[in-house]
Amino acid sequence: MNSFFEALIALHIVVGAFFIFVGSFGLLKLPSFMSRLHAPSKSTTLGVGGCLVASMLQLWAAAGTISVHETLITFFLFMTAPVTAHFLALAYLHTQRSIDESLPKPSPNSNWSTLLNEESMTHSNSVRISEKSK
Amino acid sequence: MSIALIVLLPLLGAVFPALMMRLGKNESAIAASSVTILSLVLLLTNIFAISQSTVPQASWPWVPQIDLNASFFVDGLGLLFAVMILGIGLLVTVYARFYLSPQEALGRFFAYLLLFQGAMLGVVLSNNILLLIVFWELTSLSSFLLIGFKSDSQEGRQGARMALAVTAGGGLALLAGMLLLGQVAGSFELTEILKEGEKIRSSPYYLSILALVLIGCFTKSAQFPFHFWLPHAMAAPTPVSAYLHSATMVKAGIFLMLRLWPVLAGTQTWFYVVAGTGVITMLIAAVIALFRDDLKSILAYSTISHLGIMTMLVGFGSEMAVVACVFHVINHAIFKAALFMNAGIVDHETGTRDISRLGGLASLMPISAITATLAAASMVGVPPMNGFLSKEMMLEEVTHATAIGVAWLLPGLVMLASVFSVAYSLRFLLYTYFGPVRNDYPAKPHDPSRGLWLPPACLVVLAILIGLFPEAWAGSITRLASDAALQSKSPKFHLSLWHGWTPALMMSIFAFGCGATALSLYVPVRSIWNKALLPDAKGLYDLSLNACVRLARITTDRSFNGSLHRMLFLFVLAASALGGVVFARSSYERGERELLPINTSMFVGWVLVIVACFVLAWKHQSRLIALLTVNIVGLISSIAFIYLSAPDLALTQIAVEVVTLILMLLALHFLPKEAINEVISWRQYRDIVLSVAVGASVGFLCWAMMTHDFQSISSYYIQHSKPLGGGANVVNVILVDFRGFDTFGEITVIGIAAMAIYAMLDGMLTGPLSATLLKWTSGLRFSPNRHPMMMVVVTRVMLPLAILVACYIFLRGHNLPGGGFIAALVVSIALIMQYMASGFAWADERVHFDYHALIGGGGLIAAITGIGSIVLGKPFLTSGFKYVDFPFIGKVELASVSAFDLGVFLTVVGGVMLALANLSNLGRMTGDGKQ
Amino acid sequence: MEETVSTSPERKSFLQRWLPHPWTTVSLVLLWLALQNSVSNGNLLVALLLGITLPIYTSSFWPQRQTLRNPFTVFELVVIVMWDIGVANVQVAWLVLFKDPSQIRSRWVSVPLEIVSSEALTALAAIVSLTPGTISSDFSDDNRFLLVHCLDLEDADSLIDSVKNRYEKRLKRILI
Amino acid sequence: MELLVATAVAAMTAAGIYLLLRAQTFSIVLGLTMVTYAVNLFIFASGRLTVNQPDIIVNPTGTYADPLPQALVLTAIVISFAMTALILVMSVRSYFESGSDLVDLFGPEETVSKDRR
């Protein structure tokens, strides 16, 4: 494995590590829950991405086979990470009902789905999904 | 062959009378007696052979491993006892036919009687001492059945239990003794053992053999310390008392001592122990017999006394004493059986056995009076009767024996005992048959039917005949028996009525006189006796029994009062204590295997685990933290598996981790949320100490194990995994191929567990609990947006992808980390996501698979692959594989193992889904499910 | 409460029944080849086999049929998103490391949406969440507004228009 | 490295057993899971720890991680999952049947906070 590849791999690992560090540091530093929520998205995207690219290169350089598994991992990661972030936000909205007033109302007669007070809700959200997309 | 038949005939024939009972009492009696007669005839065919002193033998291997073979032989001693058993058995059968009242189950009685007869014959005729013990225990059992025949009577049951406890206990000691004897003698066959006399007497085990065998004999023959069960056995019907507890069963002990005489006798210990016990029993029993009021109880104690006489004679160790003992065995059986039957007649006619309410029956029942007088005369030892002869011989022997240097001690004691025996015999006779005729008998006495008085009459006639012409009638049989017992020519002796004015004659006349005078002074003597406080053996027995029961109850109450905590605590304590003990004894030196270097990331993982354990133990009551920490530990252990080169394990661990988390969350939804503030009592500190101790010891054990090298056995698997199993992934090949059967068992376990879970949950939905379920609410506030759209869409997009990945893992399992389990778990997680994202009903409707069918199908497929190999002639679950070259695709490996793996896959998916789906379904049925 | 979608009784066209989700089949084939890490005849055959059979079973879970139009815009969208992730990551990194927390002005923004189908909405929300600095937290009950939380933002409009014309415009071309 | 694994097993067993002796059914289930992890690690460690050994047979004569304990532990993991599920459902059912998730802790007379009983 010539030194060029090694340098490249090392670079990717360092970049990945840096972003993961930033992510975890952000968890410590940022004040409110929602702002802290941003930190993990950083580490899941570039951080892990960097490491995966590094391992791909390493495999390619060492074993000569282009392994596509790493891209699969990134693909699956990009599909599932937003859902976790979305759920954490939903949970935050649901539990902190009396949150700060800065939350804008979407439109005069509608409200955010988790904040609908139970009485006004006629039928479940999922039914609405199906009608809309039929 | 015929010898074994003698023993087996009564045993197998026992069913015959019970069946014939359907036709009537006579037929049943005839059936029983015919079996006995047949057996007797078979026995007598051997007399000619025995007289030529050739001992007929027969032997079959029964349990060769412990060299217990069914070997029988008939020698003189065996012949004598067998004749006695069958002869008296015949008479008792006839007697019982008329004695038992109509409503009593005669058929069952005869069946038990024949069972006992067979067992007793087995004891006297068996050549293998282990076989002898089998029959010995059988006699105890049959006596238990017979004593407790009248199951409604309380003291009958109690007497039976006591008899069994004592005789069977003795049997145990005897078994131990016989085993030792067999070891020392080198063989379990009596014919060999009897030749090894010197070797056994000189072997270090002689004393223990002697003690154990004697305990067996003394318990069976009711000798002094163990005599108390016989009087309580009198609760049995009289025929049983006449047969078992006078003539045959109680003689088994005497028989065994005679049988082993050439081997065990001849030492001072034998003399003192056996003769001593004999004398003491004779004296004490005779004294007690004088003061008993129940007829059968008098006879019981007199039997004990006479057994004492026989034990004493065997104990003397001289050959003439053995002859005297054999002769007395015959005589005692005859007159005692007659007396018992007579007592039965009295009880049958007058309705009572209490001697104080009897008297003057002679004029009312002349025939039974005559037989009673003659039999009692024989027991006392009056000249024309056979009793006199054996008494003379007994007294003769006593005068020669000197105990502990004091010549007169033994004769004195014997004299005293005979005085008492004369007294109680006369009392038995006079107080029932002579004296004033009373009018308050419960029933009108008159002579019984012929069937009742004939059997005792025969016996009495026999007694007179032996008395008058001893040599003609009993001479030859006695000589044969004593030769067999001594295993050598018995000394020259001549049975005759008159021996001249020998000291023995003087002693017996003197004894008779004193006895008569003692009887006349009966009333004052009786009052002294009543005031004397005597230890009641039965009381002691009951006392010890109750004490054991109380002790047992105390220990269980104190240790297990139903609290799970205490049980678990004791369990863990006991386990670790056991480990500690074993460890303390073995020496431990540090293993020399070189250790792996510590890798930093593993160190971080280790710190996390330790902290997680501590936090978990400390904050286990807040559910979120507890769950998190358990999962941290799980994930880190899977990372450790990866690091320690076990990829398969890591995959399974992570998948199981996820499914367990989902499961716990589902369960937590229902369990109460608020924690209980456990009062920090000393109990909690005790738990901490125990758990830390156990943890440390387990850790130390693990450390000790890992530092020592070991010779791994898995090299076999590594070599043969590719050639035999066809797969490079050794772990998977082991799982589905080498240990396929184990995996097959395992998937059934998963199936069963899932079924159990389904049953429990379904029981809640349909059972009485459904009401409480409906009223129950989780107390959580639900967000109106039950199915967030993002989650719904992503899970639906992911489903096909996840199943594809599962197929990938499944197919690569044989050569690379993967396999049925992991694939199944991936699919289950994908499916359960559907339930969580889009609701139970929506998802369940679309799954189209019935999970029960999945479990069953998976198991079936796995079984079929297994049976398939049987069809091909190989053992269950051997796998076959071959490489097929498809034109277009290239080399493909077809392995039967993948079918088995498919079975595993389906069962695990079915199992996991059944558990998780139903648990989530439960939520819909509760109060907050209806929102 | 439950989804009452009943698959329509009228007979589905051949294509509809056997190839319910063409794009899923394509992605499955690609995924299989990627998993096998080698393209050989055998793998291709198995990929096709699985690609066709699996969606038949899972289609019941995904009733709506999505027609994916002009795939080039998909490629274009992916590139843009990748680029945005890179840039935004650096910005947020700088922000997190050097800016003191009191000055970070994080605020909620409500973004009006034109796209309708749930897949498109989910894709948009995912993209928004992936680009650091913005997290899509909720949809309005009528799915016409997306609530986004931004870590540090001066004015809402710049975010709204960047979201709309960079992502939503392209998404509209791919999915309705 | 062996020391780490040994102490980890020790800690897990200690925590597990402590939890087993607690009052609530859920703690007992967690305790049992911890003990299961400890036992699995223990059995795995009986094959002696090896680092980055190929588990896939390239040449049968090479040195390998001991596959047998791995196979045993794999079976153990799956079965312990089935048993954990069983106990959990049992605890849920016993909660609904008896109305409280308290294990009959110290026997009737002992001191669990009165109000909670």
From the CB coordinates, do chains C and D have 3 or more pairs under 8 Å?
no
Range B922-927 average pLDDT: 77
Query: Which of B782, B786, B931 is the closest to A125 by Cβ?
Result: B786
Contact B59, B71 (CB under 8 A): yes
* B924, burial (CB in 10 Å: exposed 0-12, middle 13-18, buried 19+): middle
Range A107-126 average pLDDT: 56
Q: Do residues C108 and C166 both lie within one domain?
A: yes
Q: Closest approach of chain B CAs to the CA of C115, in angstroms?
A: 14
State which residue of chain B sits closest to D36, comparing Cα positions: B634
Are A113 and C92 a contacting pair at CB < 8 A? no
State which residue of chain C sits closest to A133, comparing Cα positions: C117
Q: Is residue A123 part of a domain?
A: no
State which residue of chain B sits closest to A97, comparing Cα positions: B783
Range B259-288 average pLDDT: 85
* CA gap C24, C54 in Å, rounded: 9
Which residues are bridge partners to C151 per DSSP? none
Work out the percent of chain B whose per-residue pLDDT is above 90. Answer: 11
Q: Is residue A106 part of a domain?
A: no
**What are the angstrom distances between the C-alpha of B502 and each of B193, B392, B499?**
39, 9, 7
State which residue of chain B sits closest to C31, comparing Cα positions: B801
Across all residues in chain A, what is the average pLDDT?
76
Q: Closest approach of chain C CAs to the CA of B821, in angstroms?
A: 19
DSSP string, B590-603: ---PPPPPPPHHHH
**What are the angstrom distances between the C-alpha of B64 and each of B59, B185, B186, B278?**
12, 18, 15, 38
* CA gap B554, B589 in Å, rounded: 44
Q: Closest approach of chain B CAs to the CA of C4, in angstroms?
A: 8
Q: Do residues C57 and C109 both lie within one domain?
A: no
Q: Do residues C84 and C157 both lie within one domain?
A: yes
Instruction: State the pLDDT confidence band at A131, using cuts at 50, 70 and 90.
Output: very low
Q: Is residue C83 part of a domain?
A: yes
Q: Is residue B127 part of a domain?
A: no
* CA gap C31, C37 in Å, rounded: 10
* CA gap B577, B694 in Å, rounded: 9
- Chain B hits for C35, CB-CB cut-off 8 Å, are 804-805, 808
Q: Do residues B699 and B771 both lie within one domain?
A: no
Query: Which of B787, B790, B797 is the closest to A124 by Cβ?
Result: B787
Q: Do residues C95 and C118 both lie within one domain?
A: yes
Q: Closest approach of chain C CAs to the CA of B685, in angstroms?
A: 45
Are B786 and A121 a contacting pair at CB < 8 A? no
B491 pLDDT exceeds 80? no
Q: Do residues B888 and B758 both lie within one domain?
A: yes
Which 3-state string (H, E, C) describes B391-418? HHHHHHHHHHCCECCECCHHHHHHHHHH
Backbone angles phi, psi at C150, to 5 degrees: -110, 145
Question: In sequence order, which ranges of B721-788 are alpha helices (DSSP H)?
Answer: 730-733, 740-766, 769-775
Instruction: State the pLDDT confidence band at C74, using cuts at 50, 70 and 90.
Output: confident
Joined together, the tokens standing for residue C43 give 């793998």
* B825, burial (CB in 10 Å: exposed 0-12, middle 13-18, buried 19+): buried
B838 pLDDT exceeds 80? yes
Q: Do residues B340 and B412 both lie within one domain?
A: yes
Instruction: State the pLDDT confidence band at A14, using cuts at 50, 70 and 90.
Output: very high
**Domains of chain A: total:** 1
- Chain B hits for D109, CB-CB cut-off 8 Å, are none
Are B652 and D78 a contacting pair at CB < 8 A? yes
Instruction: State the pLDDT confidence band at B756, using cuts at 50, 70 and 90.
Output: very high
- Classified as helix, coil or strand, B681 is coil
From the CB coordinates, do chains A and D have 3 or more pairs under 8 Å?
no
* Topology (CATH) of D2-50+65-116: Helix Hairpins (1.10.287)
Residue C8 has a pLDDT of: 47
Taking alpha carbons only, the member of B416, B718, B569, B899 closest to residue D68 is B718
Q: Is D101 on the interface with B (CB under 8 A)?
A: yes
Q: Do residues C106 and C34 both lie within one domain?
A: no
Residue with tokens 């009596």: B190
Domain that holds residue B875: 712-931
Residue B332 has a pLDDT of: 87
Are B626 and D52 a contacting pair at CB < 8 A? no
Instruction: State the pLDDT confidence band at B429, using cuts at 50, 70 and 90.
Output: confident
Is pLDDT larger for residue B214 or for residue C107? B214
Contact B908, B857 (CB under 8 A): no
Q: Is A64 on the interface with C (CB under 8 A)?
A: no
For B622-636, the pLDDT digits (tens) are 888 899 999 999 999
* CA gap B602, D7 in Å, rounded: 13
Q: Is B892 on the interface with C (CB under 8 A)?
A: yes
- Chain B hits for A96, CB-CB cut-off 8 Å, are none
Q: State the best of A22, A30, A87, A121 to mutate against chain C, taking most chain C CBs within 10 Å.
A: A22
Which range, of B193-202, B516-525, B860-869, C70-79, averages the lowest pLDDT? B516-525
* D60, burial (CB in 10 Å: exposed 0-12, middle 13-18, buried 19+): middle
**Domains of chain B: total:** 3
For B692-722, the pLDDT digits (tens) are 999 998 988 888 888 888 777 777 777 777 7
Taking alpha carbons only, the member of C19, C47, C52, C54 closest to residue C31 is C47
Binding-face residues of C in 37-56 toward B, CB within 8 A: 40-42, 45-46, 50, 54-55
Q: Closest approach of chain B CAs to the CA of A29, in angstroms?
A: 22
* CA gap B755, B911 in Å, rounded: 8
* B527, burial (CB in 10 Å: exposed 0-12, middle 13-18, buried 19+): exposed
- For chain D, list the contacting chains (3+ Cβ pairs, <8 Å): B
Residue A121 has a pLDDT of: 39
Are C92 and A67 a contacting pair at CB < 8 A? no
Q: Do residues B550 and B573 both lie within one domain?
A: no
Range A1-8 average pLDDT: 81
Residue B731 has a pLDDT of: 83
B607 pLDDT exceeds 90? yes
Q: Which residues contact B329 (CB under 8 A, 6 or more apart)?
A: B80, B81, B84, B251, B254, B310
Is pLDDT larger for residue B814 or for residue C173? C173
Q: Is residue B14 part of a domain?
A: no
Instruction: State the pLDDT confidence band at B533, using cuts at 50, 70 and 90.
Output: low
Domain ranges in chain D are: 2-50+65-116
Query: Which of C4, C86, C104 is the closest to A35 by Cβ?
Result: C104
Instruction: State the pLDDT confidence band at B531, using cuts at 50, 70 and 90.
Output: confident
* CA gap C103, C100 in Å, rounded: 6
Which 3-state string (H, E, C) describes A37-74? HHHHHHHHHHHHHHHHHHHHHHHHHHHCCCCCHHHHHH
State which residue of chain B sits closest to C28, comparing Cα positions: B801
State the first-to-last Cα distance of chain C, in angstroms, to the nearest integer: 27
Q: Do residues C80 and C129 both lie within one domain?
A: yes
Query: Which of A68, A107, A126 is the closest to C3 by Cβ?
Result: A126
Q: Do residues C57 and C88 both lie within one domain?
A: no
DSSP string, B305-345: HHHHHHHHHHHH--HHHHHHHHHHHHHHHHHHHHHHHHHHH
Are A106 and C110 a contacting pair at CB < 8 A? yes
Q: Do residues B762 and B901 both lie within one domain?
A: yes
Q: Is residue A70 part of a domain?
A: yes
Q: Is B841 on the interface with C (CB under 8 A)?
A: yes
**Strands (DSSP E) along B74-110, which ranges?**
none
- Chain B hits for C121, CB-CB cut-off 8 Å, are 789-790, 793
Residue C5 has a pLDDT of: 44
Cα–chain-centroid distance for residue B28?
33
Question: In sequence order, which ranges of B186-227 are alpha helices (DSSP H)?
Answer: 190-193, 197-202, 206-220
What is the reported pTM?
0.67
Contact B223, B312 (CB under 8 A): no
Q: Do residues C19 and C56 both lie within one domain?
A: yes
Are B892 and C42 a contacting pair at CB < 8 A? yes
Are A90 and B783 a contacting pair at CB < 8 A? yes
Backbone angles phi, psi at C13, to 5 degrees: -70, 160
**Domains of chain C: total:** 2
- Chain C hits for A41, CB-CB cut-off 8 Å, are 129-130, 132, 135
Are B676 and D23 a contacting pair at CB < 8 A? yes
Q: Is A92 on the interface with C (CB under 8 A)?
A: yes
Q: What is the b/e burial string over A12-22, where b = at least 16 CB atoms within 10 angstroms of the residue's CB?
A: bbebbeebbeb
Backbone angles phi, psi at D55, to 5 degrees: -85, -10
- Chain C hits for B805, CB-CB cut-off 8 Å, are 31, 35
Q: Is residue C66 part of a domain?
A: no
Q: Do residues B806 and B880 both lie within one domain?
A: yes
* CA gap B717, B714 in Å, rounded: 5
Query: Which of B641, B649, B749 is the closest to D82 by Cβ?
Result: B749
Residue B375 has a pLDDT of: 86
Q: Is residue B367 part of a domain?
A: yes
- Chain B hits for C34, CB-CB cut-off 8 Å, are none
Q: Is residue C2 part of a domain?
A: no
The residue type of A45 is T
Contact B450, B20 (CB under 8 A): no
Domain that holds residue C29: 14-61
Q: Is residue B611 part of a domain?
A: yes
Residue C109 has a pLDDT of: 84
For B456-479, the pLDDT digits (tens) are 888 888 888 888 887 777 778 888
A102 pLDDT exceeds 70? no
Q: Is residue B546 part of a domain?
A: yes
Are C149 and A127 a contacting pair at CB < 8 A? no
Residue A119 has a pLDDT of: 35
The two beta strands, B890-895 and C145-150, are unpaired
Q: Flag residues of chain D having pLDDT under 50.
A: 107-117
State which residue of chain B sits closest to A116, comparing Cα positions: B784
Binding-face residues of A in 7-26 toward C, CB within 8 A: 18-19, 22, 25-26
Taking alpha carbons only, the member of B655, B626, B627, B658 closest to residue B641 is B655
Q: Do residues B528 and B620 both lie within one domain?
A: no
Q: Is C31 on the interface with B (CB under 8 A)?
A: yes
B595 pLDDT exceeds 70? yes
Q: State the best of B601, B781, B782, B783 to mutate against chain A, taking most chain A CBs within 10 Å.
A: B783
Q: State the best of C96, C127, C136 to mutate against chain A, taking most chain A CBs within 10 Å.
A: C96
The CB-side HSE value for B258 (13 A sphere, CA atoms) comes to 33
Which range, of B519-523, C130-134, D75-79, averages the lowest pLDDT? B519-523
Contact B773, B925 (CB under 8 A): yes
Are D112 and B679 a contacting pair at CB < 8 A? yes
Largest CA distance in chain D: 67
Range A52-70 average pLDDT: 83
* CA gap B923, B375 in Å, rounded: 90
ipTM above 0.90, yes or no: no
Is pLDDT larger for residue D105 or for residue B241? B241
The residue type of B594 is E
Residue B405 has a pLDDT of: 65
Contact D67, D55 (CB under 8 A): yes
A132 pLDDT exceeds 50? no
Residue B404 has a pLDDT of: 64
Which 3-state string (H, E, C) describes chain C? CCCCCCCCCCCCCHHHHHCCCHHHHHHHHHHHHHHHCCCCHHHHHHHHHHHHHHHHHHHHHCCCCCCCCCHHHHHHHHHHHHHHHHHHHHHHHHHHHHCCHHHCCCEEEEEECCCCCHHHHHHHHHHHHHCCCEEEEEEECCCCEEEEEECCCCCHHHHHHHHHHHHHHHHHHHCC
B1 pLDDT exceeds 60? yes
Q: Is residue B643 part of a domain?
A: yes
Are A85 and C129 a contacting pair at CB < 8 A? yes
Are C126 and B889 a contacting pair at CB < 8 A? no
Contacts 24+ apart (CB under 8 A), B30-36: B31/B110, B32/B93, B32/B110, B32/B113, B32/B114, B33/B90, B33/B93, B33/B94, B35/B9, B35/B10, B35/B114, B36/B10, B36/B86, B36/B89, B36/B90, B36/B93, B36/B114, B36/B117
Is pLDDT larger for residue B564 or for residue A8? A8
Q: Do residues B757 and B628 both lie within one domain?
A: no
Domain that holds residue A65: 3-98
Q: Is A84 on the interface with B (CB under 8 A)?
A: no
